[in-house]
A and B are shown apart, each in its own frame.
Chain A
């Protein structure tokens, strides 16, 4: 069965960077986009971007351009999301979510599996 297992909670100081991992199993990792979505406390869902695990190609939401980097390690079926220059309003739960279309087809309209989420707290 498909599983996305994310790394544990992080506490970071303003200005630092955080890297969250998402280990996939139960399907062909390089076959489907991996999306990243975040949710601030008490707030809604916000799409950050996606990575094509086969090619490494990325698409980022304009809001995060220049601060976010999505990568992958195909040898261990793991996707990563790194966010730099952290601010207090980056405090959120970060989710990875598997897309449904086979890469490189587009658009990828939605996800069918989500990771359990990783809480990132930014505080001095």
Chain B
């Protein structure tokens, strides 16, 4: 089964840049779009990156997404960190049976 693996947690200081990785277990992660969701405590997920590197309207350009085929991974990069960016982040893609697959989530702490 196709799986996505994320680090359990990352932390960085305000104003800095952080990158969260999402590694595919098999096949090429570049074959299907990767999305990134932000989830604050008690709230539903919201999209910060869709289709590998697209930002929905309203998401600041401090958020960016990329794909690295050599490591079979996707990355979410947040620059100019703000305390409001502290949240859980999930990557998501889909497999050949159209099943959505989520990474385990990464807790971002901005301290």
Contacts and interface: CB of A to CB of B under 8 A. Distances in A.
A111 interface: yes
Q: Is the interface of A mostly helix, strand, loop or mixed?
A: strand
Interface string A70-95: 00000000000000000000000001
A61 B101 CA distance: 10
B104 A109 contact: no
Contacts of A111: 47
A59 B98 CA distance: 8
B63 interface: no
Interface stretch (A7-15, A24-32, A41-49): A41-49
B94 A95 contact: no
Interface of A: 35, 37, 44-47, 50, 59, 61, 95, 100, 106-112, 114-117
A107 B94 contact: yes
Contacts of A45: 37, 45, 90, 92, 102, 105
Nearest to A6: B44
A100 B54 CA distance: 14
Contacts of B47: 110-112
